[in-house]
Amino acid sequence: MNQDSTVTPTRTQSDYIGRFAPSPSGPLHFGSLVAALGSYLRARSLGGKWLVRIEDIDPPREVTGAADMILQTLSAYGLNWDGDILYQSQRLDAYQAKIDKLLSQDQAYYCQCTRKQIQAMGGSYDGRCGRLDSPHTHGAIRIRNTAGVERFQDLHMGDVCLDTDFATEDFIIKRSDGLYAYQLAVVMDDAFQGITEVVRGCDLLTPTCRQISLNQQFSYQSPLWLHLPLVCDAPGMKLSKQNHAQAIDTDKPQTSLNAALTFLGQQAVTPQSDIREMLAEAVAQFDLSAIPKQAEIVL
């Protein structure tokens, strides 16, 4: 079944649907908690739904058992989601159906250029494989980026203007190793789930232009965007699973929860044995304008 028929409907505030979409490459760390909490508080403060999606389409980076560990951690912190978990690995047929359609309509094409060749082009792909008289029949697949969105309005960071070469480049939607690219999957899944606003870290600020471009080309209603400061060990060094960031404590979550609230510029709440009472207080006093307008904050 091709599930790509769902497009985000016309929305009102009461229709708010947000999401947290971690990859199962390790346990949640403090940076992950900040992103999850920020998106949760935003959704609940607006009386909306908060969904969880596991982005498990890159098996080489995945850690066995990490998806279950992530869900258990969210539950330990009282971050309870609405509806069923969506696993991207369940959506492979939908991604392929979309790619097949794009190829058949000459909206995408195969590319065999190497990273070294692209570096020789100046670091930005020049679209040469899309102009061949005899097109390639295998390799990575690139979208013909006819939208080329270069700027957008972020609800927290304001007007974001991006590098033209990056924004207008024909980018990869399926890798040469057969794995589906994040840009394609995230756009299709946000539309499929009816996501009205994406709240996430500033590490994904730049790729947003490509996601807006795909939304336009696919005739999806693009969600609104709200990017939060990144938690960093040092300037330019965000906490990450790849850098072996320490997992957050699930036995006594109160301290980490208040630390995450403070990081987001919110008032710390009264520690309670029931973490849900703390979250209810945090939701009631959530103030978007108090979040620092910085791309990163070094701890």
- Residue 237: per-residue pLDDT: 79
Question: What local confidence, expressed as pLDDT, does residue 12 receive?
Answer: 47
- The residue ranking higher by pLDDT, 9 or 177, is 177
* Better-predicted residue by pLDDT, 243 or 169: 169
What pLDDT does 243 receive?
A: 65
> Residue 50: helix, strand or coil by DSSP?
strand
Domain ranges of the chain: 13-93+157-166+186-298
Comparison of pLDDT for 185 and 10, the residue scoring more: 185
What's domain 13-93+157-166+186-298's superfamily in CATH?
HUPs (3.40.50.620)
Binding-site residues for ATP, in ranges, read 241
pLDDT at 269: 97
pLDDT tens per residue, range 163-175: 999 999 999 999 9
Reported pTM: 0.92
Q: Which pLDDT score is estimated for 299?
A: 84
Nearest-CA neighbor of 224 among 22, 62, 15, 58?
Answer: 15
Which pLDDT score is estimated for 2?
38
Phi and psi angles of residue 32, each rounded to the nearest 5 degrees, phi first: -65, -40
> Residues within the annotated binding site for L-glutamate?
19-23, 55, 182, 200
Annotated binding site for Zn(2+): 111, 113, 125, 129
Mean pLDDT of the chain: 93
Helix axes 275-284, 253-263, angle to 10 degrees: 10
* Structure confidence at residue 8 as a pLDDT band (50, 70, 90): very low
* Contact residues for 64 (Cβ-Cβ < 8 A; gap 6+): none
Question: Known binding site: residues?
Answer: 19-23, 55, 111, 113, 125, 129, 182, 200, 241
